[in-house]
Amino acid sequence: MKCVIVSNRLPVTVVEKDGKMEFARSSGGLATGLDSLKVPGEKHWLGWAGWQAVPAERRKIRARLKKLGLYPVFLTPEHIHNYYEGYSNSTLWPLCHYFLNYMSCNKDYWRSYCEVNELFCREAMKIIEPGDQVWIHDYQLMLLPGMIRARCPEVSIGYFHHIPFPSYEMFRYLPEREEILRGLLGADLIGFHVHNYMRHFISTVYRVLGMECRLDEVILDNRAVRIDAFPMGINYDLYHGVSDLPDVCEKADELRRLAGDSKIVLSVDRLDYSKGLLPRLEAYASFLKNHPEYREKVTMIMIVVPSRDKVDIYAGLKTRIDELVGAINGAHATVNWNPVHYFYRCFDFEELAAVYSIADIALVTPIRDGMNLVAKEYLAAKRDKPGVLILSEMAGAAADLDQAISVNPADRWQIEEALLKALKMTVKQQKNALAVMQQSLARKNVACWANDFMGELRQVTERNLEMNRKVVDEDGLKNILTDYREANRRLLVLDFDGTLVPLSKNHAQVKPGRKLMNILKCLAADSANTVEICSGRDAASLERWLGHLPIGLAAEHGAFFKEKGVWQRCYEETAWDAEILALLENITHKTPRSEIEIKKTALVWHYRQVDNWLAELRINQLINALMAPCARLGLSLMRGNKIIEIKPAAYNKGTEIRRLLEKNAYDFMLAIGDDTTDEDMFAALPPGAVTIQVGCFTDKTKYTLSGQKDVLPLLAALGKSGMYRKRDRSLFNPVFSRVSVRL
């Protein structure tokens, strides 16, 4: 088994030096984290090497990189313009950072994005084999999980989104939203930095694709996609120990001389509109104006790393930063003091570590950021020196760093107040806050992040494999049919909604079709069979639809049952408490498209047509409100498939199964159901029974079916199989082959 990492860029860049190709190793957080990743087999990394090479050079580059376990993808200038600068950074980047006014929708961009994702897929398939683990990174490759899944279903695929994931209201602006989401759902595990992004993604999948989402999972036909949050850390030991290095100490002394005796406020960011650079400078200018006592006592070191500055939006941003820095220095500078020392260039690791170590305050105020590792690097590099972190509440890092001074990055006055608060903090206060955050960073480092993700990916993959092992495939169907044919007395217990008939948004309009009726007649015609429909439906509905068939019927989860043509009552009708009815009526009034169903022994609140977010809110409100009166009256609260049911606790589908087993002995028992209300039925059957869950994986049953559409072919196979005598073995295979094709 191999671990294949796929990202837009390799952890090395091909550069030309003195006419020769050289490979420069990346020191970024992703490269560091994945270097420390522990996997059972080999690690391979696929990505763009940042070099537009001719075919002869490509062979040479491939050969050299392969020795390092690296596999390059080569992009054309057109790809770089349309895929990378275009769809990735002019469509997805502004969308995910909530800058719709900067978002460009261009069909050429989209075509190129699809082409490059397909190119990555073709290159990946050269090294991927069944059983491998594939870890795909970031927004440039959101189609890739689905592409790889289509070509090799037997791989374990993880995807990590390193930038924010926007709310549904924002994501719906993307014309290709469905294609992007389906591409991501090719993964087994999708990771985000924080739970907010995870929540946005699940909400978007539900609203855009209409797929079933259960807490942290999206349920597909044959597997579940897990969604989780994995806050990315840093190489804590590296940054924590760097301030003692001679080169770092030397550079720190140079920077300290530059600032003089002033307190240093540090700003480090890439040139990007999402980083809040202009509001940050404006807040600093306002601070100097409103607090003249700090003039010549505070200096900002502002490092802006060049990024796409030939693009108009970025070039314009740089111009405005240059102008604002000039205006601040022009208004406040003295002979001995510059308020802002501005560096528009990359700092190497030693320089950055040096400025971290001497900075008294780190001002990190992005308008929207996936994580922001600068904040974490600053804290680690401080070691035991005092320092204060002012952090935007919009950065993913804010979820972990609760000892930082939190600010709204759009509120200039709040940033100004935070600067004043930071400057007035005592050394003891600063060190106490730093110690708490440093302990957290040491535990949740980048190696922990990488290994946590891959550990959960292994768990999810194993669960999906277990789910697939339970699916009624050709071998499973053959075993069921063999046991069925050889049995002399059989019990078949079938749920109705979601099992025999599809679930409907309007439960009152559901009725059995001709195909189902013919199958039930065929099964009931076999004298060896006892067939029973055990449903939550009321007795009148079951009698109207199925009463003419020679089968057993159990209504309201076994409160009523039909035997020898006569309906029997197990329990007295319930006189519903006025308080409970009032609570249900109130929640229904406040929840559009919900409704109450009043049965003789149960009350049901239906919310199949209700928006998912609103439904979850109302469910919690309803359950909390009903707990006390239900406990007082001895009633149970049961959450089923898009329903909340209130009924006496003394009976359920399990009690009906026990009643049937007390009357007769059976050598073949089968039960099929689709939701939590059927679990009592499964539990009441002996271990040898054939129990089948429809639609999702559960530990409660022996088998699963991917959906309701597979139930009737299975029952038809049982009916046809029972028509042949045991000695007619030659007729088994034709029956099996005709039915298995439809499963």
Q: Which residues are catalytic?
A: 495
Which residue is associated with the tokens 């957080």? 29
First to last CA, the chain: 31
| Interatomic CA distance for residues 234 and 131, integer angstroms | 30
With the C-alpha atoms ordered 219, 220, 224, 228, is the resulting torsion angle positive or negative?
A: negative
Q: Is 526 exposed, middle or buried (0-12, 13-18, 19+ CB in 10 A)?
A: middle
| Interatomic CA distance for residues 87 and 109, integer angstroms | 5
CA distances (Å), origin 620, targets 63, 310, 501, 525, 627: 59, 52, 29, 46, 11
Closest residue by Cα to residue 388 from 373, 407, 409, 403: 403
Q: Determine contact, residues 171/204, Cβ cutoff 8 Å.
A: yes
Q: Determine contact, residues 321/279, Cβ cutoff 8 Å.
A: no
| Interatomic CA distance for residues 702 and 479, integer angstroms | 12
Residue 534 tokens read as 């055990």
| Interatomic CA distance for residues 655 and 677, integer angstroms | 12
Q: Which helix (H) or strand (E) holds 35?
A: helix 29-35
Q: Which helix (H) or strand (E) holds 8?
A: strand 3-9
Q: Nearest 10 degrees: CA dihedral of 346, 348, 353, 355?
A: -40
DSSP E strand stretches across 49-93: 70-73
The DSSP bridge partners found for residue 407 are 392
CA distances (Å), origin 342, targets 265, 299, 339: 12, 11, 10
Q: Determine contact, residues 78/112, Cβ cutoff 8 Å.
A: yes
64: left (phi over 0), alpha (psi -120 to 50) or beta: alpha
Half-sphere exposure of 679 (CA within 13 A, CB side): 12
Farthest-apart Cα atoms in the chain, separation: 107
DSSP 49: -
- Angle, CA 130 vertex, CA 124 and CA 131 arms, to 5°: 110
Which residue is associated with the tokens 């009523």? 560
CA distances (Å), origin 30, targets 247, 346, 370, 694, 718: 25, 18, 14, 41, 54
- Residues with Cβ within 8 Å of 587's Cβ and at least 6 positions away in sequence, in order, are 594, 605, 618, 621, 622, 625
Q: Determine contact, residues 142/183, Cβ cutoff 8 Å.
A: yes
Q: Which helix (H) or strand (E) holds 598?
A: strand 595-598
What's the alpha-carbon Rg for the chain, to the nearest Å?
32
The DSSP bridge partners found for residue 156 are 133
Residue 191 tokens read as 């990771």
DSSP 399: G
The DSSP bridge partners found for residue 269 are 304
Q: Amino acid letter at 579?
A: E
- Residues with Cβ within 8 Å of 17's Cβ and at least 6 positions away in sequence, in order, are none
- Residues with Cβ within 8 Å of 459's Cβ and at least 6 positions away in sequence, in order, are none
Closest residue by Cα to residue 494 from 545, 436, 543, 554: 554
Q: Determine contact, residues 536/497, Cβ cutoff 8 Å.
A: yes
Rounded (to 5) percent helix, strand, coil in the chain: 50, 20, 30
